Amino acid sequence: MSARSHQAVDPDHRVRVLRALGLTPWVRRAPAVAPLPELQIVDSGAGVACVVVLPEQCSARELDLLGRALSTGGAWLARAARVRVKDGQLTAELPMARAYLVFGEAQAHALGRILPAAVMNQALIVLADEPSLVLGSAAAKRRLWNALRSLRRALLATAGE
């Protein structure tokens, strides 16, 4: 038996075949939602768009999960600068950004110690659960998803100004 290559099927033919099989074809009432446009952020001297602040001790599974979650926010977030915190101190120089995505309260305290007050007032700082919690808890994953959505919305709004 030879396999047929996948060919486009005429919608009328598909409906006829489904009815012949005794199935009721369903039709979507509302048109499909168009995908969000890719975020284009023009650097206006405020530094990079986003910086991700992570704890030092992240396992490979946690980093993989975070990488996949960040890539859902678009290429700008997938390629965001990443800074780690070790013993309450940032391990690298912190670039100025319009938004900071911070994983964990300890990392938020380390970021707060190093950022000037003027930058803190202008930047969007989004706090998410630590990667180990995100890996093991559905509620933490939901909170991360909401944080990524709010971050994307805020950066889209600032890019449109």
pLDDT digits (tens, 9 = 90+) for 31-52: 655 554 443 333 444 457 889 9
Mean pLDDT across 156-160: 73
Q: Which residues contact 113 (CB under 8 A, 6 or more apart)?
A: 88
How would you label 70-83 residue by residue, b for 16+ Cβ within 10 Å and e otherwise? beebbebbeebbeb
Statement: residue 19 has pLDDT above 70 = yes
Q: Distances from the Cα of 94 to the Cαs of 99, 101, 105, 146, in angstroms?
A: 12, 13, 17, 25
- Strand 89-90, strand 124-128: pairing: unpaired
What's the farthest any 2 CA atoms get from each other in the chain? 71
User: What is the domain partition of the chain in residue ranges?
Assistant: 48-160
Picking from 144, 102, 96, 104, the residue whose alpha carbon sits closest to that of residue 120 is 96
- CATH fold of 48-160: Rossmann fold (3.40.50)
pLDDT at 57: 87
